Structure 1
Amino acid sequence: MLVSEHVGQFFLDGEGSRDRLEYTEYGAGDSWVVLLPGQLMPRRMHQPLARHLAAQGLHVVTLDPLGHGRSDRPADPLAYSVPAFGQQVVALLDHLGASQAVIGGTSLGANVSLEVAATAPDRVRGLLLEMPVLDNALEAGILAFSPLLLAARFAPFTITAVRRLTRPVPRGVVPFWAGIALDTLDQRADAVAAVVHGLFFGRIAPSAAERRAITAPALVVGHGRDPIHPAADAAMLADEMPAGELVRARSILEWRTSPQRLDALAADFCLGAWRSASRRSRRA
Structure 2
Amino acid sequence: MEQGGTVVTTSATVFSEGVNLAYDDEGIGQAFIFQHGLGGDRKQVAEAFGEQPGTRRITLECRGHATSDYGPANALSLATFARDIERMATKLKVDAPILGGISMGAALALRLAVKGNLRPSALVLARPAWLFEPAPPNMAVYAEVGELLLSYEPEIAREIFLQGQSAGQLRREAPDNLASLVGFFERSKPREFGNLLMRIANDDPGVSREEAQRINCPVLVIGHGHDLVHPLAYARELAGVFPNATFCEITAKAVDRTRYVNEFRAALHDFLERLA
Equivalent position amino acid for 1:12 in 2: S
Q: 1:157 to 1:261 in 2, by over 3 A?
A: closer
> Which of 78, 90, 96 in structure 1 is aligned with 2:86?
90
Unpaired segments ≥5 residues, structure 2: 160-178
Provide the C-alpha distance between the structure 2 equivalents of 1:236 and 1:251, rounded to a whole number of angstroms.
18
Residue aligned with 1:240, SS: coil
Q: Corresponding residue for 1:138? A: 136
The yes-or-no answer on 1:5 pairing with 2:23 is no
* Per-residue CA distance 1:7-36 (angstroms, 9 max, x = gap): 1111012xxxx101101111123x101111
- In the alignment of these two chains, the number of paired residues is 249
Moved over 3 A (4+): 156-162, 181-185, 252-256
The yes-or-no answer on 1:149 pairing with 2:150 is no
Q: Corresponding residue for 1:38? A: 37
Q: Corresponding residue for 1:123? A: 119
Equivalent position amino acid for 1:32 in 2: A
Provide the C-alpha distance between the structure 2 equivalents of 1:190 and 1:59, rounded to a whole number of angstroms.
35
After TM superposition, give the deviation of residue 224 of structure 1 in Å: 1.5
Provide the C-alpha distance between the structure 1 equivalents of 2:63 and 2:157, rounded to a whole number of angstroms.
20
After TM superposition, give the deviation of residue 73 of structure 1 in Å: 1.8
User: Structure 2 length normalisation: TM-score?
Assistant: 0.80
Greater displacement, 98-107 / 191-200: 191-200
Residues 215 and 241 in structure 1, CA contact (< 8 A), matched pair in contact too: yes
Q: 1:152 to 1:184 in 2, by over 3 A?
A: closer
Unpaired segments ≥5 residues, structure 1: 163-177, 276-284
After TM superposition, give the deviation of residue 52 of structure 1 in Å: 1.2
After TM superposition, give the deviation of residue 159 of structure 1 in Å: 8.5
The yes-or-no answer on 1:225 pairing with 2:223 is no
Q: Corresponding residue for 1:61? A: 58
Greater displacement, 126-135 / 19-28: 126-135
Residue aligned with 2:121, SS: strand
Provide the C-alpha distance between the structure 2 equivalents of 1:158 and 1:204, rounded to a whole number of angstroms.
32
After TM superposition, give the deviation of residue 250 of structure 1 in Å: 2.4
Residues 225 and 252 in structure 2, CA contact (< 8 A), matched pair in contact too: yes
Q: 1:159 to 1:40 in 2, by over 3 A?
A: farther
Residues 25 and 58 in structure 2, CA contact (< 8 A), matched pair in contact too: yes
Q: Corresponding residue for 1:264? A: 266
The yes-or-no answer on 1:21 pairing with 2:25 is no
After TM superposition, give the deviation of residue 203 of structure 1 in Å: 2.7
After TM superposition, give the deviation of residue 189 of structure 1 in Å: 1.8
Residues 130 and 136 in structure 2, CA contact (< 8 A), matched pair in contact too: yes
After TM superposition, give the deviation of residue 182 of structure 1 in Å: 6.2
The CA RMSD over aligned residues, in Å, is 2.8
Residues 28 and 54 in structure 2, CA contact (< 8 A), matched pair in contact too: yes
Provide the C-alpha distance between the structure 2 equivalents of 1:72 and 1:207, rounded to a whole number of angstroms.
30
Residues 174-213 of structure 1: pairs in structure 2 closer than 5 A? 185-213=186-214
After TM superposition, give the deviation of residue 152 of structure 1 in Å: 1.8
Q: 1:255 to 1:267 in 2, by over 3 A?
A: farther
Q: 1:265 to 1:121 in 2, by over 3 A?
A: farther
Provide the C-alpha distance between the structure 2 equivalents of 1:160 and 1:139, rounded to a whole number of angstroms.
21
After TM superposition, give the deviation of residue 81 of structure 1 in Å: 1.3
Q: Corresponding residue for 1:236? A: 237
Provide the C-alpha distance between the structure 2 equivalents of 1:67 and 1:268, rounded to a whole number of angstroms.
33
Q: Corresponding residue for 2:98? A: 102
Residues 9 and 23 in structure 1, CA contact (< 8 A), matched pair in contact too: yes
Q: Corresponding residue for 2:68? A: 71
Residues 42 and 183 in structure 1, CA contact (< 8 A), matched pair in contact too: no
Identity %: 22
User: Structure 1 length normalisation: TM-score?
Assistant: 0.78
Q: 1:184 to 1:12 in 2, by over 3 A?
A: farther
Provide the C-alpha distance between the structure 1 equivalents of 2:56 and 2:268, rounded to a whole number of angstroms.
14
* Per-residue CA distance 1:217-272 (angstroms, 9 max, x = gap): 11000112322111111011111011111101122457842223331220232343
Equivalent position amino acid for 2:213 in 1: R
Q: 1:50 to 1:222 in 2, by over 3 A?
A: closer
Provide the C-alpha distance between the structure 2 equivalents of 1:9 and 1:47, rounded to a whole number of angstroms.
17
Provide the C-alpha distance between the structure 1 equivalents of 2:20 and 2:185, rounded to a whole number of angstroms.
19
* Per-residue CA distance 1:52-103 (angstroms, 9 max, x = gap): 12xx121111220111111112351x22111211112211111111112111
After TM superposition, give the deviation of residue 145 of structure 1 in Å: 1.6
